[in-house]
Amino acid sequence: MAVEDVAGSVALLAVAGHMVSDVCAIAASHWAIDLAARPA
């Protein structure tokens, strides 16, 4: 039972890390779109 708890915790941490990387990618895309929309 302890192994299942640890595996579940590790899986949740992996998902959380993936969500953080997704948020960073979306923020970077918004920044790039804003940068591209500025006049030269």
C-alpha dihedral (31, 36, 38, 40), degrees to nearest 10 = 140
- Choose between 29 and 2: higher pLDDT: 29
**pTM metric for this prediction:** 0.72
Rounded Cα gap, residues 14 and 1, in angstroms? 20
Residue 12, classified by CB atoms within 10 Å of its CB into exposed (0-12), middle (13-18) or buried (19+), is: exposed
- Which pLDDT band, with edges at 50, 70 and 90, does 1 fall under? low
pLDDT at 4: 79
Other residues' Cβ atoms within 10 Å of the Cβ of residue 19 = 10
- Choose between 4 and 14: higher pLDDT: 14
pLDDT at 2: 80
pLDDT tens string 5-30: 788 899 999 999 999 999 999 999 99
User: How far from 4 is each of 7, 8, 10, CA to CA, in Å?
Assistant: 5, 6, 10
